[in-house]
A and B are shown apart, each in its own frame.
Chain A
Amino acid sequence: MAFPQRQAAIVGVYTTAQGKLPERTSFSLQLEAIKGAVDDAGLTLADIDGLLPMTLSDHLAGTTAHQFWAEQLGERPLSLVETGGASGQLAKAAAAISAGLTEVAVLFYGKAGQLVGPRGTAAPTDRAPRVPEWSYMQHGAYMTTWYALWAQRYMHEFGVTSADLAEVAVFTRHHAVLNPDSVMGRKGEITVEDVLASRYICEPLHLLDCSIDNDGGYAVVIASADVARNCRHEPVWVLGGAEAYYTDFYGTINDPWFPEGGKSVRKATDRAFGLAGITRDDVDVAGMYDCFTITTIRNLEEMGFCKLGEGADYVKEGHCRLGGKMPTNTDGGLLSNSHAGDPSGMHCIEVVRQLRGACGARQVPDARIGVSLQQGWAVHGMGSVLVMARD
């Protein structure tokens, strides 16, 4: 008999506190998240036999997180280890479950105390620090700069303005205001003028075009259908998923940047949607990696929800806002909910909560099919997509 073909479902999700957590460690956030997601599923740690860590181990230098966590969680032989962005890892875990390689796997991340942005890099006093030889750090660039370069070129080619980008921050903050757990929701709604009046970080990106830079952890439990049917919540089925990569770590991004046929995100989306047997119009709710306002606009185009160059119009037409045809980043996203280190699993978690009908004031009525996108390295150097549905 060949590999069985078994359905997989997301059965547990958990988010720790998000924000400034000076009393926490990355490890304790990860452990809390794992325990929390397993408990949300109605399972125990002994049920886990696959690990999807979103981080390296900081326990022993140079070791993988898989081995550290396999030992930490009870010195039991585990069956599946994966790497990649959250949606892609969950896609591969679903495929592994389908093929019979594992029954229950947990994706997890947690980060405390280290800032991702420029405030996290102190100036040396005695000698120039050494960095990898093609690193953009030699030029004073960092992730915000890289996305600013993407935004600048995009705005030039497609006639998009800073006010257009700001619309993304505005609708995403609106969602955060409706999410009591979001970091920025308590600061209230913002307007396009607020975004444009916030200080420049890297032109053309203002402070409010950028995600926040906080601590936090999360975990997601994915299981076979047999396990899922006996879990605490209704299963959120994985219908399809895929990932695609084409570029190295911020070394360069050669021309073309905006081909009609798309790049990594298009490829991952087409494959994931094909496996799921859905069309763009079937998506009720979306979670898309929104590290900067430009990212959401390009995500919408590259995923095929609108044409190249029309992402800003799509946002302005209100389609991403609650009440629109595809509410997007309903938790407030990375811009206004939480951006802790590698937050790509947060988009999956919010979509799962929407499909469970657990989102209170920000609930999308009758949400049945949801999509999450993880992307990275700007200009969509990598991407992964997960398609989820409830019965």
Chain B
Amino acid sequence: MTYLKPLPDISVLNRPFWDGLRQHEFRVPKCADCGDYGWIPYPACRSCQSENQEWTPVSGDAVVWSFSVVHRGPGAFNDEVPYIVVLAKLAEEPRSLIVTGNLIGVDPSEVSIGMPLRIVYEEVPEEDITLYRFTPAA
């Protein structure tokens, strides 16, 4: 079945992130000077403004920072309500990394703030792209 939900318009600058997903790696720019990670990716480190950043795979461990069970969705998402949008706080520190995504594999009534998560990957049929999702770690 054709995937009809919005897909990213990938830029040259950020292609390593999307290439990483294809290899089931979630890569985040890590500053080679101060060591901080940054999310969402920016052209220079937000802590020290160095352009010397490297795409570095993260552990994939995260916790629920916040979540919303969506009952009215835009476009093709409305066929899937209720679904869960999550802000997942990745384990990497010190600069916090809060990543927006969908939480799958759990009943909406079971979700709570602080719940351990991990990143999983989903190939989009008929499209040359892999997406990330979050799912409960246990």
Contact = CB atoms under 8 A, between A and B. Distances in A.
B6 A129 contact: yes
A200 B71 contact: yes
B8 A152 contact: no
Interface stretch (A141-149, A234-242, A275-283): A141-149
Contact of A254 (B76, B85, B97): B97
B9 A153 contact: no
Contact of A134 (B40, B65, B77, B102): B40
A203 B68 contact: yes
Interface string B1-26: 01111111111001000100000000
Contacts, number: 143
Given A130-B9, A133-B8, A153 B113 contact: yes
Contact of A203 (B5, B39, B65, B69): B69
Nearest to B67: A152
Given A130-B6, A131-B9, A153-B113, A148 B73 contact: no
25 contacts: A118-B72, A118-B73, A123-B75, A125-B4, A128-B3, A128-B5, A128-B7, A129-B75, A130-B6, A130-B9, A133-B11, A134-B40, A138-B5, A148-B68, A149-B66, A149-B68, A152-B66, A153-B66, A202-B71, A203-B69, A252-B87, A252-B100, A254-B96, A254-B97, A255-B98
Given A123-B78, A139-B101, A152 B6 contact: no
A298 to B, nearest CB: 14
B33 interface: no
Contacts of A148: 68, 70
A361 interface: no
Interface string A103-147: 000000000000000101111111111111111111111101100
> Considering residues A123, A130, A201, A251, which has the most beta carbons from chain B within 10 angstroms of its beta carbon?
A123
A334 B29 CA distance: 39
B3 to A, nearest CB: 5
B98 A133 contact: no
B123 interface: no
B39 A252 contact: yes
A140 B80 contact: yes
Contacts of B131: 138
A202 B72 contact: yes
A187 interface: no
Contacts of B67: 149, 152
Interface residues on B, range: 35 or more
Q: Is the interface of B mostly helix, strand, loop or mixed?
A: mixed
A203 B71 contact: yes
Interface of A: 118, 120-142, 144-145, 148-150, 152-153, 156, 199-205, 248, 251-255
8 closest A-B pairs by CB: A140-B77, A121-B74, A255-B96, A148-B68, A133-B8, A153-B66, A118-B74, A130-B9
Interface of B: 2-11, 14, 18, 39-41, 65-80, 83, 85, 87, 89, 95-102, 108, 113, 124, 127, 131
B72 A123 contact: no
Nearest to A132: B9
A254 B9 contact: no
B4 A128 contact: yes
A122 to B, nearest CB: 6
B70 A126 contact: no
B97 A201 contact: no
A145 B40 contact: no
Contacts of A133: 8-11, 14, 18
B39 A127 contact: no
A123 B66 contact: no
Contact of B65 (A120, A124, A138, A153): A153
